[in-house]
Amino acid sequence: MRVPTKKPVLSIDEPEPKAPRADRPPSEGFVVVVDGHFKSEFETAEAAKSAGRKLKSTYPMLKIEIYDAATRVRTLLDSET
């Protein structure tokens, strides 16, 4: 005998989370840019640099930059910094 399963109830009151667009730079925070593509967003520059350094240590051939959305400036992350 099959037991009917309940379908999840969708609520109109809750808007769906809006996904960031990959082709537009973010308007706030700091972003790790890998080979010219926006990847992870962070609230602080130190958190973005830490994530960038971790990527660079694992994949040294990548070009890693930190994008500051407030000033719209990209800073190349050196392997030493």
Taking only the tens place, the pLDDT of each residue in 2-45 is 666 776 666 666 555 556 666 677 788 999 999 999 988 999 99
In this predicted structure, what is the pLDDT of residue 6? 72
| φ and ψ at residue 15, rounded to 5 degrees | -75, 150
Token pair of 67 as six digits:
């994008």
In this predicted structure, what is the pLDDT of residue 15? 57
Which has the closest alpha carbon to 31: 62, 73, 2?
Answer: 73
